Structure 1
Amino acid sequence: MTRPTPDLPHDTLALPGGSLHYTQAGQGEPILLIHGSLCDYRYWRWQIPAFAATHHVLAPSLRGCWPDRQPHPQPGYRIAAHAQDLIQLARTLNVPDGVHVIGHSRGAQVAMAFATQAPDLCHTLVLADPAFRFDDEPETPPFYARTVDQLRAGDTEDALQEFIDTVNGPDTWRKMVGWFKDMTRDNAATLVSQILEANTPVRLRDAAALRCPLLLVGGSNSPAKYGTRQDRLQQLLPHARRARIALSAHGMNLANPRAFNRTVLEFIETARALSA
């Protein structure tokens, strides 16, 4: 396994009303990594060095996430706003041929928004365990409403345990390594903002209009709800490819990084060859 870089280089892009923090590595066609809830660019510690061997990797912390120190709730902590930040990052860094976009969990919805708002910049799209609802589905209470109540009451550890065990499986929090727990603690307050848009849907017509190569990735042991999202996307987009990462659940890029990295890079290479 490629060893993670212990101290990732840090860059900052000034944006209206704040900044976007990101790290980058490598050269070649750019890959944009978009993390999910309670995370930041450190989430991709096993992907950054592996992908940077052949590509230019861009891994941002979504605005409002560590090391952003602005208090929550933040009214600008929204899927569409995150996508606009990343579009600005791509345009600032001058990627005329587009980027390979990879989004995990909530980051998959940001990735969808990126591809919808700037299709010229999205060369390929990888959605890992997307969790969003579609606009023809009813709203449901967010599963982490109790988590947010616990956070507001100052019960951070129990709140994080409940959230992580819900999205990845029972007893996950207890087994998690220290760096991961520290990262989620650093980002715990983001859930107070996130719940303000918990039922924001993806429009069916936007999803059906995607034309870039699409890979849908799931963990072999991921909770069933993530698979239902991939099933619907594949119905809408028959050209989409599917992959399952063995010996993993929702955090498949951490549980089985070799398989995840290989799957993603093979997909990107195949798409590149077909477009040549």
Structure 2
Amino acid sequence: MQTLSVNGYDMAYLDVGRGIANNPPLVLVHGTLGDFRTWNAVLGPLSKRHRVISLSLRRFFPEHWDGVGNDYLMAQHTTDVIGFIEKFSAGPVDLIGHSRGGHIGFRVAQARPDLLRKAVLAEPGGDLEPALQPSTPPPGPVPLGPRVPIAAELVRNGDIDGALALFVDGIDGEGAWARWPATARQQLRDNVYTLLGQVGENRKPFLKSEAESIQTPTLLIGGGDTKGALAVNWRVLAEHMPGARTAVIPGTRHWMFEQAPREFCDIVLEFLKA
């Protein structure tokens, strides 16, 4: 593990592989409750072709945050990733963002396209503006957004696993948390206090005009069995992002790169080399 000081905060990251000559570094941005360990299943295949930089966002592991402070903001995380890329690389990088990290990747492409060669957004999280929302709600679990403040209150009351079950089941269906392996559950426990920050993170909805403005070549990717808004967002965004490509990994859900790492890497590396 290494750290890089960005905007007054030491961002932790893993630096894996040398990659192939002329391939840009590949920056990986995790989602809610994740950290640089989120990508362990795909670091090997990805690092055969790219120098892979897996970072931890502000307030995530290895920091053990207590939820106190006012800098857990979507805008701050976006600014931090921009600052990290500026300091780390002499030229444009490729970027993969998952869930929250996919939202951040979208914002980086929107604000600083000069920093990105290509982007992969894996089921980016957030809300669509009303003009982009489907006429009927997508089938799936109870929407995730309303669950976050309830989960945060459970954290405050010391019910850590109750909070995480509420959150994870809101993404992957009821009972999903109970079926997760111990290692994956511990990673989320290590980051559970970030749910307190997420309540007031001020995440803006995706706008049609923003999607239409993205010029970075982008692949949007999803799990074939994902339900709810996460299964809709990336498809809608792809319809409005110029030249965007899409891919689905059958038999997987939101954490598709853990459930089918080989298939995920094959799709991503094919896109990045084109």
TM normalised by structure 2 equals 0.89
Alignment partner for residue 83 of structure 2, among 69, 76, 88?
88
- Structure 1 residue 136 displacement after superposition: 4.1
Equivalent position amino acid for 1:48 in 2? L
- Structure 1 residue 118 displacement after superposition: 1.3
Equivalent position amino acid for 2:61 in 1? W
Match runs of 1:55-134 below 5 Å: 55-96=50-91, 98-134=92-128
Residue 27 of structure 2 corresponds to residue 36 of structure 1? no
Equivalent position amino acid for 2:195 in 1? L
Equivalent-residue separation in structure 1 for 2:146 and 2:268 (angstroms): 30
- Structure 1 residue 125 displacement after superposition: 1.1
Q: Give the corresponding residue for 2:5.
A: 14
Q: Structure 1 residues 64, 152: closer, same or farther in 2, change over 3 A?
A: same
Deviation larger for 160-169 or 70-79: 70-79
Match runs of 1:203-242 below 5 Å: 203-242=207-246
Q: Give the corresponding residue for 2:147.
A: 143
Tell me if the contact between 1:129 and 1:226 (Cα under 8 Å) persists in the aligned partners: yes
Alignment partner for residue 167 of structure 2, among 163, 168, 175?
163
Q: Give the corresponding residue for 2:140.
A: none
Tell me if the contact between 2:132 and 2:236 (Cα under 8 Å) persists in the aligned partners: no
Equivalent position amino acid for 2:83 in 1? Q
Equivalent-residue separation in structure 2 for 1:203 and 1:138 (angstroms): 8
Equivalent position amino acid for 2:263 in 1? A
Structure 1, unaligned runs of 5 or more:
1-9, 271-276
Equivalent-residue separation in structure 1 for 2:82 and 2:266 (angstroms): 26
Secondary structure at 1:81 match in 2: helix
Equivalent-residue separation in structure 1 for 2:168 and 2:202 (angstroms): 17
Equivalent-residue separation in structure 2 for 1:137 and 1:80 (angstroms): 23
Matched positions, count: 260
TM normalised by structure 1 equals 0.88
Q: Structure 1 residues 159, 138: closer, same or farther in 2, change over 3 A?
A: farther
* 1:143-179 Cα distance to aligned partner (Å, 9 max, x none): 3221111111110011111111111222221121111
Deviation larger for 193-202 or 52-61: 193-202
Deviation larger for 246-255 or 167-176: 167-176
